[in-house]
Amino acid sequence: MAKKTEDIEVRTIAVLVDNEPGVLARVIGLFSGRGYNIESLTVTEVDPREKFSRITIVTSGTPQILEQIKAQLDRLVPVQRVSDLSLDGPSVERELALVKVAGAGEKRVESLRIADIFRARVVDSSHDHFTFEMTGKSDKLDVFIDLMQPLGLVDVSRTGVVAISRGPAGL
Amino acid sequence: MAGRKWDEVPTLTGSEMLIKALRDQGVDVIFGYPGGAVLPIYDALFQQNDIQHILVRQEGGAVHAAEGYARSTGKVGVVLVTSGPGATNAVTGLTDALMDSVPVVCLTGQVPTHLIGNDAFQEADTTGITRPCTKHNYLIKDIADLPRIVHEAFYVARSGRPGPVVIDLPKDVLQNKSDAYIPPQDVRHRSYRPQTRAPEATIAEAVEMIAQAKRPVVYAGGGVINSGPKASELLTRFVHLLGVPCTNTLMGLGAFPGSDPQFLGMLGMHGTYEANLAMYNCDVMINIGARFDDRVTGRLDEFSPRSKKIHVDIDASSINKNVVVDLPVVGDAGTVLEDLLTAWKARKLELDQKALKAWWAQIDEWRARDCLKFEQKGQVIKPQYAIKRLYELTKDRAPYITTEVGQHQMWAAQYFKFEEPNHWMTSGGLGTMGYGMPAALGVQRAHPDALVIDIAGEASILMNIQELSCIAQYNLPVKVFIVNNQWMGMVRQWQELLHGGRYSESYTASLPDFVKLAESFHAVGIRCEKAEELDDKIIEMIETPKPVIFDCLVAKDENCFPMIPSGAAHYEMLLGPEDKAGKPISEEGMVLV
């Protein structure tokens, strides 16, 4: 069936998995093997006692493909639960970035001023640079990084999106 | 074993524990090939009698043999191969088992844990390589995990949608000792629980939808067979109760009796005219355990455009993958059929008999085209005739049929009628040439007294011809029926239809003398060149209590019809060679496989 570009949606999917060797490779292999997109992916253990890891994937596709992605994830043997945070109700999404800006003089002052507006923290500095830490929605991070570009941006490290549903219910 | 204290809990090596776990899983046969990394397992096998080892001649053969064993018994097939090349040779078979949902546990040797990642001799990243071609895989790094993982592997392989599971076993784990054996009943997988029963409300919705039908069709696939013989019985009861037509996929042949008047034959690319037109024109489609494969649907936007579709599948990811359906029913085919029958009867539902009668009249009109007709004239044997005679002369013995891949496979699917499930073993999803003979040896091992026939092509059979040696060693009376047209027939057919008759590399020069080949492998060779000799020679083959290679020389230029050209819709099917001129194949169709 022809895929219309206007049907493409972006979704954030949370996957709770058994933290066993190869589980991340299984998830990534599923996406590359079946031609699905990964816009962002984060993973770490969230329950050391039960040995559960949580994978947060931002992916895109037509609604039909997105349903496929969830069904394919769900049938992986070590997958405990799959939740579509974009579809199943409101959720909170955050990303953390470390942004290094090098320079001196007015540009250096300007970078600090903008960082203040964006509520970024300075986590490392010297006479020649600042490293800012900033948390927020991904598009806010994009804007901040964009503004730092002319001010001596030299390095960016981002975590990718983590997300959780709003309200009292767990995954 | 000096030093072992017999009054204490017995301490087992990893290999001994593995054998114990296999025995507790009810394994009585393993198909395998030894090598350095698995020597401890072979040593443990040597010292026991409960599990027989069948020595294949190449690891690829071992997996196909296990598939044949599994598909003809419903049990899990077990494979044992060494590290490195042993494991990589198994990859084709594992992919085949994944595509066709065959329960297989494949034990692979691995270099000792301290050498993993060091490019050691015969090392390969087996779990990495097999991750996309297995349902699940394990690398055991500690003997303490071994019994749990083996039992889990069997559970994963056979439950839900069945599939292959690899257990990678480093040599040091096989040689370490432990007294911590766990029996199967104490192992429960922590997350894997496939849904087998559909919610009552969904079942109710399904029967109400079916009751509205004026032109219903049941489209049943391999999921019915995987669910067990009871599911086939229930399918038959369901179709009879409703009085509706039923078609089977390639993988589903035998799920509904082949000679039943309500059976439309196989559907899809080389399916019958009546089955495909019933699919195109139906108003309610009941898909039970089939997955809308591209070989079945043809052009998707013209696939049964006016029908409401119900899709029963144990694998939720099969639903709405290729075809969007109106009612998804996630569950085991047998369980859902039972619930459908109960719900149908409880509600005292009935179909519109007048509409159903008109529908059958329409179907009978399509049937009257007799799309599988052919004319056997003269002494040159038509391949269709060869297979039809093979069917007629063997049907009373309920033979087990395996096939290779190509024209002969499609003719076998068209002209053989299977009355029971588990009697038809073919490589459907992956289309693996070389599948049939090793699969047949696995089937014969499971059913020593049955008639087992591999319907083969002369090209496919050469892909795993080495297994003749295995067949001879265990005196398995497998019959290999080669439909020999000296061409890779299906490749040639596509070149004729799609590539202007430029027969690039599809002719097999220098074929062996199959009769002499048979004799050199301690089998019996029979050659048949004339139509008038065919029956006698087939009977001779059946009555020979030894493995037989039957070299049936057939017409060289016969094509397999009916055919839906790739990218075409069901109603655009070609019924014969005279049909092709008017309907050129679209450019989109050319790109498809």
pLDDT tens, A86-127? 999 999 999 999 999 999 999 999 999 999 999 999 999 999
Structure tokens at A146: 């964009």
Which residues of chain A does B128 touch, with a Cβ-Cβ cutoff of 8 Å?
22, 25
Instruction: Assess B377–A contact: CB distance below 8 Å, yes or no.
Output: no
Judged against a pLDDT cut of 90, whether residue B331 lies above it is answered with yes
Please tell me whether residues A108 and A76 are part of one structural domain: no
Instruction: Assess A21–B contact: CB distance below 8 Å, yes or no.
Output: yes
**Domain containing A50 — which CATH number?**
3.30.70.260
In the sheet that holds B136-139, the strands lie side by side as B52-55, B29-32, B77-81, B104-110, B164-170, B136-139
* pLDDT bracket for residue B589 (50, 70, 90): confident
Q: Say if the Cβ atoms of A18 and B301 lie within 8 Å.
A: no
Judged against a pLDDT cut of 80, whether residue B552 lies above it is answered with yes
Among residues A63, A84, A105, the one where a domain terminates is A84
Active site residue B59: yes
Q: Which residue has the tokens 């546990």?
A: B105
Please tell me whether residues A113 and A59 are part of one structural domain: no
Record the pTM: 0.95
3-state secondary structure chain A: CCCCHHHCEEEEEEEEEECCCCHHHHHHHHHHHCCCCCCEEEEEEEECCCCEEEEEEEEEECHHHHHHHHHHHHCCCCEEEEEECCCCCCEEEEEEEEEEEECCCHHHHHHHHHHHHCCCEEEEECCCEEEEEEEECHHHHHHHHHHHHHHCEEEEEECCCEEEECCCCCC
Please tell me whether residues A107 and A73 are part of one structural domain: no
Q: Give the nearest chain A residue to B317 (CA atoms).
A: A71
Which residue is catalytic, options B17, B285, B490, B573? B490
The boundaries of the domain holding residue A151 are 91-163
Task: Encode pLDDT of B452-509 as tens digits.
Answer: 999 999 999 999 999 999 999 999 999 999 999 999 999 999 999 889 999 999 998 8
Q: Is residue A3 part of a domain?
A: no
Please tell me whether residues A96 and A148 are part of one structural domain: yes
Active site residue B121: yes
Task: Encode pLDDT of B85-96 as tens digits.
Answer: 999 999 999 999
Active site residue B550: no
Q: How many domains does chain A have?
A: 2
Active site residue B410: no
Average pLDDT, integer, range B532-549? 98
Judged against a pLDDT cut of 60, whether residue B5 lies above it is answered with no
Q: Is residue A104 part of a domain?
A: yes
Task: Encode pLDDT of B368-382 as tens digits.
Answer: 999 999 999 999 999
Q: Give me the interface pTM, i.e. the ipTM.
A: 0.91
Among A30, A50, A75, most B C-beta atoms within 10 A, so best to mutate, is A75
Rounded to the nearest integer, the mean pLDDT of chain B is 95
Among residues A34, A61, A84, the one where a domain terminates is A84
Q: What's the Cα-to-Cα distance from B74 to each of B69, B158, B196, B583, rounded to whole Å?
A: 8, 9, 17, 43
User: Pairing state of beta strands A91-102 and A162-165?
Assistant: antiparallel
Which residues of chain A does B313 touch, with a Cβ-Cβ cutoff of 8 Å?
none
Q: Say if the Cβ atoms of B139 and A22 lie within 8 Å.
A: yes
Please tell me whether residues A54 and A102 are part of one structural domain: no
Please tell me whether residues A79 and A100 are part of one structural domain: no
Q: Is residue A71 part of a domain?
A: yes
Q: Is residue A139 part of a domain?
A: yes
Please tell me whether residues A20 and A79 are part of one structural domain: yes
Q: Give the nearest chain B residue to A62 (CA atoms).
A: B321
In a structure prediction context, what are the per-residue pLDDT tens digits for chain A, which is 171 residues long? 445 566 899 999 999 999 999 999 999 999 999 999 999 999 999 999 999 999 999 999 999 999 999 999 999 999 999 999 999 999 999 999 999 999 999 999 999 999 999 999 999 999 999 999 999 999 999 999 999 999 999 999 999 999 999 999 998
pLDDT at B15: 98
Please tell me whether residues A129 and A64 are part of one structural domain: no
Active site residue B171: yes
Which residues of chain B does A74 touch, with a Cβ-Cβ cutoff of 8 Å?
316-317
Q: Is residue A4 part of a domain?
A: no
* pLDDT bracket for residue B1 (50, 70, 90): very low
Distance from CA of A71 to the nearest CA of B (A): 5
User: ω into residue B577 within 30 of 0, thus cis?
Assistant: no
Q: Which amino acid is at B261?
A: P
Average pLDDT, integer, range B287-315? 96
Instruction: Assess B259–A contact: CB distance below 8 Å, yes or no.
Output: no
